[in-house]
Structure 1
Amino acid sequence: MAPRASKPLQPPREVRREQLARLFVEVVEPLLQQGETYAEISVERLITAVDISRSTFYVYFDDKGDLLRAMVEDVTQAFADAAAPWFELGPDATRKDLRKALQPLFDAYHQHQMLLGAITETAAYDQQIREQHAALVDRAVTEITRHFRAQQKLGRAAPLDAPRTARWLVWMLERGLYQLVAPAKPAEFKRLLDTATDIVWRVLYEGYRDDA
């Protein structure tokens, strides 16, 4: 008698929730770009777009607000991945290398500009989303501080107060990316990237690395 085929294992709930959140990001952003607000988009339209049932939606998400929080987690990870090249710059990196490392972060904010607007709007009354945003900022501060201190030990970064300098830079970049970069046209996007590179280079590295 031939052995029965084993039933494919279903991914754990948290993994499936992350997968669905990523699909919903791809659905929600075009709707927001068309001028709709997140509040106007019904659950029915969302589940139809990703081809799941209402019961399946509520297995993974409590409501539309919970879905937005899951999408925030997905976008937050995208931003963390985009920032990683900067945090991993080596001791011999040049200004050109810094610009190249910052570009993925700029691209990520530009790509998710409409969802960022929905997140900002909802954060005004959703404490969990505010906390998610604060956690993203803290994570960035921690990573920049780690990178900055490592470069200081090698004599490749300015002798500044690393944690406080990192916090200033993160808040400057976070607001600038949201307010200026997200809606920028291509030519302005390039100028903003060049300017941010100059600011970071002059604050952290100028005089300690080759200005190339």
Structure 2
Amino acid sequence: MEPAPPRPLQLSHAQRRGMLSRHFVAVVEKLVEGGATYADLSVEAIIKAGGISRSTFYVYFNDKGDLLVAMAADVIGDLVSTGSAWWDLPADATKADLHAGLRIPIDTYREHRTILGTVVETAAYDPRVREQHQSLINQVVPALADYIARAQVAGTADPELDAERTARWLVWMIERGLYQLVGTVDDDEVSRELDALTDILWRVVYRRTAD
């Protein structure tokens, strides 16, 4: 018999903050998709749409920048975990495997594109959000570099690549591409962008030219 989930009174401050941030992801996405920008949203507008009191909001968040940091932690965590669909592939993965692996984080990005786009835009002037955004890169680059290095040892990746620097360039390229090219396009265009990204990565990383 599995233990019962903790009652609300048993939740820690961090757990409650996490629950509220996840609640606000959908709230803020709806507001921004309705035409507002996060920079122009007031705390009052956010908490009214979220259905909580002002006092409750300030128990868990210092301001709306702090809320965005908390929401970013959730969606970035989702993106990082789904990104492993690429670097968890076996060294002898096919081009079709790579295509399928890349589809997963792209779909996750599209699901959370409003929050992730807001993170990119807010990072330009809020150091807290910029640090959270940088954490995405810091988590992904070592994992991808390790994958490239392992594939080099296995003989399926270009042995002349600098694994760490190649991973760094690829991750930043993909991050910018998701924001600029994938976030607002329709399903057909996403498929074409995915095909192009697969071609690029296949030619850059892998020694093989055949599927």
The TM-score normalised by the length of structure 1 is 0.89
- Separation in structure 1 between the aligned mates of residue 34 and residue 48 of structure 2, nearest angstrom: 18
Quick check: 1:111–1:182 contact (8 Å CA) kept in 2? no
User: Cα distance, 1:131 vs. partner?
Assistant: 1.6
Structural mapping, 1:1-212, within 5 Å: 9-159=9-159, 160-207=161-208, 211-212=210-211
How far apart are residue 43 of structure 1 and its match? 2.3
Q: For the Cα contact (< 8 Å) 2:38–2:118, is it kept in 1?
A: yes
Deviations 1:11-31 (A, max 9, x none): 222122122111101111111
Using the alignment, how far apart are the partners of 1:102 and 1:68 within structure 2?
26
Q: Give the secondary structure class of the aligned counterpart of 1:38.
A: coil
Structure 1: distance between partners of 2:8 and 2:109:
37
Instruction: Quote how far apart the aligned CAs of 1:56 are.
Output: 1.5
Contact 1:119/1:129 (<8 A) preserved: yes
Is contact 1:24-1:50 (8 Å) kept? Answer: yes
2:67 and 2:208 map into 1 onto residues whose CA distance is: 47
Unaligned runs of at least 5 residues, structure 1: 1-5
Distance 1:98 1:11 in 2: 41
Shift of 1:118: 2.1
Matched residues, percent identical?
50
Higher gyration radius (CA): 1
Change (3 A) 1:58 1:8: closer
Q: Is the 8 A contact 2:120 2:133 kept in 1?
A: no
- How many residues align? The count is 205
- Report the residue type matching 1:86 in the other structure: W
Q: Which amino acid aligns with 1:133?
A: H
Give 5+ residue unaligned stretches, structure 2.
Answer: 1-5
Contact 1:140 1:170 in 2 (8 A): yes
Q: Secondary structure at the match of 1:132?
A: helix
The residue identity in structure 1 corresponding to 2:94 is T
Letter of the 1:39 partner, please give it. A
**Quick one: distance in 2 between partners of 1:56 and 1:199?**
48
Q: CA deviation at 1:155?
A: 1.6
8 Å CA contact 1:156–1:205 kept in 2: the answer is yes
Q: Taking CA–CA contacts closer than 8 Å with sequence separation of 6 or more, which of the two structures ends up with the larger relative contact order? A: 1
